[in-house]
Chains A and B, each alone.
Chain A
Amino acid sequence: MKLGNNLRRCRFDKTETSQQVLAEAIGVTRQTILSIEKSKFVPSTLLALKIAKFFNKPVDDIFFIIEDENQSL
């Protein structure tokens, strides 16, 4: 079981927001956004909520649980 996300898709839904713009808006580094998108880093609840607020979407529209780790995003 791991945490998947639609972060990249959300960024491009919202007029192609760059990782840098998103990072600055929520107060993290671009590397952190990159790691979240690649599912290498699991954000805290606070950070997940900040991301959801930025995109004006519910958290579970952006983050979801992958039961089977072989399942592709």
Chain B
Amino acid sequence: MNIKLFLAATLVLLALLYWILPRTKLSRKFKMNIGLFYIMNVIGIVCGTLGIIVSFVWPDLVLERHYFELILLPILFAYVYTAIIKKVGDAKELYDEKQNLNMTQAAAVTWPMSILFVFLLYAMYQEGILTGLIFFPIFLYFSFTFYSVSTLYFFKKN
């Protein structure tokens, strides 16, 4: 199956799920809990790490064969799932105030780290280790990984 077609079909499916599911009885089963919070961050770490590895080992696959989007799909699924919970609207807040604080702390750490990472990518381009547009997926994967790791770290530590 053409991978572009698969990706497009998945996006349409997700949009349909977002539209249909909150209107069904199934929506009662969509609940935010601590397990889901962990799972979502673990998905971010796994997809991000996998993406970084694949980008360095098979950069052509990532860019030309759309593995870039494919690797990000589980994260997209997680976001749509969260959006459905939000839309169902049982809980006014998806996360409690400590989780919100920890995600803010993670974002505050990820931002400067991603800037430093761009410098590292720049150095890799200067040295000829990286070529072409691969910087973008690597940057995105790094951000997802670092953000998810930081969120879990702050959540457990504080």
Contacts and interface: CB of A to CB of B under 8 A. Distances in A.
Which range contains the number of B residues in contact with the other chain?
A: 10 to 19
The majority secondary structure among interface residues of chain B is helix
A71 interface: no
Nearest to B32: A29
A13 B97 CA distance: 26
Contacts of B98: 28-29, 31-32, 35, 41
B158 A28 contact: no
Interface string A27-65: 111111001000011011001000000000000000000
Contacts of B99: 29, 32
B97 A43 contact: yes
B117 interface: no
Contact of A47 (B91, B97, B155, B158): B97
Interface of A: 27-32, 35, 40-41, 43-44, 47
6 tightest A-B CB contacts, nearest first: A28-B96, A32-B98, A29-B34, A40-B158, A41-B98, A32-B96
9 contacts: A28-B96, A28-B98, A29-B96, A29-B98, A31-B98, A31-B155, A32-B96, A35-B98, A40-B158
